[in-house]
Structure 1
Amino acid sequence: MQTAPHLENLPPYTPIEPFEVLSARYGRAPHEIIKLDANENPYGPSPRALSALARLEWAHIYPDPESRALRAALAEFLGVPMAHILAGAGADELIDLLLRVLLRPGERVLIAPPTFGMYAFDARLNGGEVIEIPRRPDFSLDLEAMAQAVSTYRPKAVLLASPNNPDGGLLDPDTLARLFTWPTLIVLDEAYIEFAEGGGRLGEALSNVRVPLERENVVVLRTFSKWAGLAGLRVGYGVFPAWLLPVLWKAKQPYNVNVAASAAAIASLEDLDRLAERVDRLRRERERLFTLLQTIPYLEPLPSQANFILCRVLDRPARALKEALAAAGIFVRYFDTPYLKNYLRISVGRPEHSDALIATLRRLGDDPQSA
């Protein structure tokens, strides 16, 4: 017996581990761990979401396969017709679903690394090939090279995040306008848009969720994981042009959004003022943390429009620094890849998390051998 040949050499995606695994591995109680490695919201779900979970009445009944109540609430929130919205078990599921219906074996997608690893992973998982046009040293897109690649390779989709993970850069309106004219599907992942400056209460002024109503080659994906603190429940959504929806509905798993995730997401949309205040708190803490990181002589932080900050490590291996921080109970993400050599990505936490991180970084700076 044999698995599908294209999966034999598929590089695995490396996920971040939860509190209980880190607790067991490092011998620290979960409340002693400062988890800044997965861009999670340190304030957790809103009180209304927690209350909705506590009152959950129909957990023994399969969920609505069309997520109608959630999609109706999203339609009101976004000002987008419900018919254009599809909900998923996180935006990750929708990326996989979209590539599953788009790609035949050997067909291509285009990405601009460094970026979210699931784009390439899901393309290869579904038998596709990945064309990579690296970002410039400042992490901006090389639009000329990308346009040439679209012309040469005719990819079925271009997958981009705005703000981008891991650098936190936001695509400007002129760049987006140019991308939307390309003769391919533009998949715009707005997982972090709520944290961008100038976007209003929850990113509404910067979001492109209405573009798929006007352009047949644009999809916009968003999630409740970050701004609403529901990462553990896995609930996201996409706004799609009309021509894509019939095949997506046929191809998706019937009960993909569970009843707990749906209830918590709907309750979050009824608690926007509180969640917007938390997002604003994280924006302010991001700026404070950025200023503090600039005082660490062996780090070079990049400005970010997301809820994380990418830092180049200047005089020591990033992996060793990550491990030294982990030994102190502080967990961050490190990168050492062809497109991102010797970097740490630090999620924005509560002020006390930033203070503990900076104190530890200063101590490690005084004793480089410990990192």
Structure 2
Amino acid sequence: MSLMQKTVRTDVQATQAYVVAPAQGMVKLDAMENPQGMPAALQDALAEALKTVALNRYPEPKAAALEAALRAHSDIPKAAQVLFGNGSDELIDLIIRACCMPGDVVMSPVPTFVMYAVYSQWSHAQFVGVDLNPDFTLNMPALLKAMSTHQPKVVFLAYPNNPTGVALREAEIVQVVKAAPGLVVVDEAYEAFADASFMSRVLEFPNVLVLRTFSKLGLAGVRLGYAVASSAWAEQIDKVRPPYNVNVLTRTAVEFALTHFEAFEAQAAQLKANRETLREALQSLRNPQLVVEVFDSCANFLLFRLPNAWEVFEGLKKKGILIKYVGKAHPLLADCLRVTVSTDHENQQFLDALKQTLAELAQ
């Protein structure tokens, strides 16, 4: 046994690092990114703002200017506290670390965002997934029973859910919150596309935290997420937050984006319209020889099921179209693919390649 093998945790050695699929030269529709980018009219102004950043100084510890800009352009309750993270991923990790001792339970309906389970593992917490219904709606009786049995410290509710795109009903969230023995995290990563949010009710209950990110709006590269909760929860989670976890370039870029937020809101509205057009196009592929099931989505992606999903995925990749094969992630996702909603042009490239691939597989 080598020194490394004797030193590194056995559970770390037994797993693999998170794999990001190579995408150079591809039409990239696998990661729910906004394909439109920073509006060209704003790029020079952003560059000027970034030129003034003092790279030789550590960031201010509380990001007060960023928080003020965020509050001016969001629905955060005045009495709620805000915590920033290096993407919402870091905040998920911090929440679990702040709440869970080894062996404590973290729970979520599944299939869902994989990092809930990953960060639970690294904190030696036990992740318990509760299967959704076959149509990806919440199995409330099963979830309530599991919470009663396992007494989770943290329950994650993705609203809408990834990779399904399905959104919970607000009444369902309230039912879970009232029954949960610990913290309920309402993860609103796709809020911009959902026309629904639990933010206004975050202080109504003693055990709720709302999580959001700027990644899906068009700022995935700057890596900024934020958590909103009562001062009591924020104070405890802040204790495990690394100092200076959000760098000065990220802060400046997001502050700038918030002053031009209407541009990003317009992009989100366009993607919502494109989502419906793409959904209709995928549904139109259905015929007596081909069953294509497209699931309702309140996010910026669509989940769909069809025969030979892996072969379809590989066929698309050979044609320069990268989407996500999720068929192995959970039994409920068998033969499922997930595609990011993009521009009219990229959506059409995807559809043309899909039709061609299906024709080839039918031969």
Q: TM-score, normalised by structure 2?
A: 0.90
Contact kept in structure 2, 1:64 and 1:255, CA below 8 Å: yes
Superposition pairs of residues 22-61 of structure 1, within 5 angstroms = 22-23=23-24, 28=25, 33-46=26-39, 47-48=41-42, 51-56=45-50, 57=52, 58-61=54-57
Say whether the 8 Å CA contact 1:48–1:267 is kept in structure 2.
no
Q: What residue is the counterpart of 2:208 in the other structure?
A: 218
Partners of 1:88 and 1:257 within 8 A in 2: yes
Match of 2:305 among 297, 309, 312: 312
Task: State whether residues 49 and 267 of structure 1, in contact with CA within 8 Å, keep that contact through their aligned partners in structure 2.
Answer: no
Query: What CA distance in whole angstroms lies between the structure 1 residues aligned with 2:142 and 2:184?
Result: 16
Q: Which runs of 5+ in 1 are unaligned?
A: 200-205
RMSD: 1.9
Report what 1:2 is aligned to. Answer: 7
| Equivalence for 1:193 | 191
Contact 2:23 2:322 in 1 (8 A): no
Which region of structure 1 is more displaced relative to structure 2, 206-215 or 245-254?
206-215
Long gaps (5+) in structure 2: 1-5
Kept in 2, the 8 Å contact 1:13–1:121? The answer is no
1:205-354 equivalences under 5 Å are: 206-227=196-217, 229-297=218-286, 298=290, 299-314=292-307, 316=308, 318-337=309-328, 338-339=330-331, 340-354=333-347
For the Cα contact (< 8 Å) 2:121–2:127, is it kept in 1?
A: yes
Q: 1-side partners of 2:44 and 2:12: how far apart?
A: 40
Q: Which amino acid aligns with 1:208?
A: F
Deviations 1:214-240, CA, capped at 9 Å, x for gaps: 22210100000012x111110010102
Contact 1:12–1:121 (CA under 8 A) maintained in structure 2? no
CA contact (8 A) 1:40 1:347 kept: yes
1:346, 1:266 → 2: CA distance?
A: 30
Q: 1:202 maps to which residue?
A: none
Query: Is contact 1:113–1:132 with CA below 8 Å preserved after alignment?
Result: yes
Q: Does 1:93 align with 2:82?
A: no
Q: After superposition, what is the alpha-carbon deviation per residue over 1:226-257, rounded to whole angstroms, capped at 9, x for unaligned? A: 12x11111001010222222222221111111
2:146 pairs with 1:145: no
2:76/2:228 contact within 8 Å kept: no
The answer as to whether partners of 2:271 and 2:300 remain within 8 angstroms in 1 is yes
Cα separation, 2, equivalents of 1:69 and 1:160? 30
> Displacement of 1:319 after TM fit?
2.1
Task: Report the count of equivalent residues.
Answer: 347
Structure 2 distance, partners of 1:50, 1:101, is 41
Residue 132 of structure 1 aligns with which residue? Answer: 129
Whichever residue aligns with residue 285 of structure 2, its letter is I
Pairwise CA distance, 1:191: 0.3
Compared CA separation, residues 82 and 38, structure 1 to 2 (3 A): farther
Q: In percent, how many aligned pairs have the same letter?
A: 34
**1: CA distance between counterparts of 2:80 and 2:186?**
19
